[in-house]
Chain A
Amino acid sequence: MAPAAAVAKPPPKRRRALYPRRLPYLLIAPAGLLMLGFIAYPVISVFYYSLQHYNPTKPWRNGFAGFENFTHAFTQDPMFWDTLQFSVKWVVVEVGLQLLFGLALALIVNQTFIGRGISRAMVFSPWAVSGVLTSVIWVLLYNSQTGITRYLADMGIGSYGTSWLSDTGTVFSAAIIADLWRGVPFFAILILADLQSVSKDLYEAAEVDGASRFRQFIHITLPHLKNAIVLSTLLRAVWEFNNVDLLYTLTGGGPAGATTTLPLYVANTSVDAHNFGYASALTTVAFVILLFFSILYLRLSKFGSDDK
């Protein structure tokens, strides 16, 4: 098409063609419909079923339940409190340790040294490993006959015979270490990205002032990283709360329910016990907890308020 012809066209018509009012709706329609159908609708149906007795294997009880499912969870179901407590413990320990190690690791690989590129690649690599594959790897490591625990026992750490995963005393630490292995790189990557945007001038000024390296870290680096840390810990906490891949495949919630998180309990209740009404009520409780926690966390940390 010759440019001259295009310019000769009357401008009003062209403007209407370029700014059609329906176009943006047309463009977001595929995404919107997918999310309405496969996220919004399931969420609403969970809310609906949380107020129902609904169990395909016991159809004679099905019907409106009011808040019975909720009162049952809060007053008569010790598993609910146990699994909720374990979830909180799991999330706090995981996110805390991942942040600590991730921050330390990011500070280290942010220095200039020989072999930095390859070190970064190696240190970050478990990040791409799936939950199931992490389980496979750590099942091999924790195997009591041929795993690394046997060699550790040779050196006097731990004992022969039992796998760390089948002993209620060690299973928590064992699962925590496995999840740390793949979780630390997430924080290290995000914090490293943010570290690279700290202005060098600030450090030079602090240096001239005679501030020690530790005080530079406290007064320059940490405040700079604050928003990244708040956001990444929140995302990670929600993710760790919700994610079941690792524990489902590594311990299956056992031994004797010692590593069952609330979502794992919900999955068992709905999938194995078919008690879908009750599982929906538990899901609703989990939603509310997550929402409340997120809002509280963002408020308390004054997220985004110190942008200068």
Chain B
Amino acid sequence: MITQEAPAPTAGAAAGRGRPGPRKARRRAWDEVPRWQIFLPLSIYLLFTLIPFYWILLFALRPSGSTSLIPWPMTGEHFEKVWTERSFAVYFQNSVVTGVASLLMTTLVALVGGYALARFDFRGKRPFMLGLLCSQFVPGALLLVPLFQIFAKLQLINSLTSVVIAETVFQLPLSMILIAGFIRNVPYSLEEAAWVDGCTRFRAFCTIVLPLLRPGLIAVGSFAFVHAWNHFLFALMFLSQQDKQTIPVGLNTLMSADSVDLGALAAGGIIAAVPVVIVFGFIQKWLITGFSSGAVKG
């Protein structure tokens, strides 16, 4: 690249020699992309992105039977109905438990394993890494039946544990690769310095490395949470009792009813979206630093 760059100034000077002043001025002005070339496509795309969001809000907030395009007069009837009658209160609780448990389990297991990948060379590390990468190609949807059989043997069908395990397992490979990358970015010498000062490896890790990993761990943890919160198929398959189901399954039940209650469906959808919006709003700052520091170099 550098060799190609070198002759550039002379070539530019030669090209500019014929018409020195005006051309340069025009170039500077041209440097900026015309505003309409930004705002026109952007507005069109924003319409495409935002109208669906507006639509679901509209259905959730306007009274049943209304055809108004503005959610006014506003009503909370759909939320009340879906929360109590359609037992979204129960689904919500189950989803929170599944999401938080998957978050903790994924982060903890990936942290421990990622540390080994980042800090040790050991026999079998390469095959292990290869296994992690290959598992990315294994579709969870196609393993439903063998997984069902395993959980049936372990007597975990209709227990949230089965969903937590399944979500964790499919989140693990990527989380571990990411966390190993974050740990590699923390100089080993920091840890070694702490050992010289008398810390055990565990204490050195907790006091020196862990605080530096915070942005990365928040990114990985929130992805595990959102993934488990959003994912549908495992919960659908492994949890058949209604009081064990999660929000996506509840939404599917509402959608596949013979006559769909659109207001309740929209309200349920918004209930499903709220935690995700909160998580992403809260972690946005961490997300950018987390991924730019670890994922790229890892």
CA distance A63 to B131 in the complex (A): 31
Instruction: Answer yes or no: B282 CB below 8 A from chain A CBs.
Output: no
Contact between B141 and A263, CB atoms less than 8 A apart: yes
Contact between A31 and B231, CB atoms less than 8 A apart: no
Instruction: Answer yes or no: A42 CB below 8 A from chain B CBs.
Output: yes
Instruction: Answer yes or no: A256 CB below 8 A from chain B CBs.
Output: no
Contact between B139 and A286, CB atoms less than 8 A apart: yes
B-binding residues in A (CB < 8 A):
1-3, 5-7, 14, 17-18, 21, 23-25, 27-28, 30-32, 34-35, 37-43, 45-46, 49, 101, 104-105, 108-109, 111, 113, 119, 121-123, 125-126, 128-133, 135-141, 143, 146-148, 181, 193, 201-202, 205-210, 213, 235, 238, 241-245, 248-249, 252, 263, 266-267, 270-271, 276, 279-280, 283, 286-287, 290-291, 294, 308
Q: Looking at the complex, which one of B45, B119, B145, B169 makes contact with A39 (CB distance below 8 Å)?
A: B169
Contact between B144 and A271, CB atoms less than 8 A apart: yes
CA distance A132 to B233 in the complex (A): 10
Give chain B interface residues in 90-132, CB to chain A under 8 Å: 109-110, 112-113, 115-117, 119-120, 122, 125, 128, 131-132
Q: Looking at the complex, which one of B15, B140, B233, B265 makes contact with A210 (CB distance below 8 Å)?
A: B15
* Cβ distance B30 to chain A, nearest Cβ, rounded Å: 8
Most buried by A among B16, B109, B277: B109
CA distance A138 to B233 in the complex (A): 19
Q: Looking at the complex, which one of B56, B142, B195 makes contact with A137 (CB distance below 8 Å)?
A: B56
- What chain A residues lie within 8 Å of B147 (beta carbons)? 38, 42
CA distance A205 to B12 in the complex (A): 8
A-binding residues in B (CB < 8 A):
1, 5, 8-9, 11-12, 15-16, 27, 31, 33, 35, 38-39, 41-42, 45-46, 48-53, 55-56, 59, 67, 109-110, 112-113, 115-117, 119-120, 122, 125, 128, 131-132, 135-147, 149-150, 165-166, 168-170, 172-173, 176, 195-198, 200-201, 226, 229-233, 237, 248, 251-252, 254-256, 260, 262, 265-266, 268-269, 272-273, 276-277, 280, 284, 291-292, 296
Least CB separation from B273: chain A residue: A133
Contact between A119 and B46, CB atoms less than 8 A apart: yes
Least CB separation from A148: chain B residue: B55
Q: A24-B116, A30-B112, A131-B230 are in contact. Are A136 and B265 (CB under 8 A)?
A: yes
CA distance A158 to B202 in the complex (A): 65
CA distance A14 to B172 in the complex (A): 33
CA distance A123 to B50 in the complex (A): 8
Least CB separation from A105: chain B residue: B45
- What chain A residues lie within 8 Å of B145 (beta carbons)? 270-271, 276, 279-280
Q: A122-B49, A276-B145 are in contact. Are A263 and B139 (CB under 8 A)?
A: yes
- What chain A residues lie within 8 Å of B265 (beta carbons)? 136, 139-140
Contact between A46 and B197, CB atoms less than 8 A apart: no
Q: Looking at the complex, which one of A35, A113, A238, A249 makes contact with B131 (CB distance below 8 Å)?
A: A35
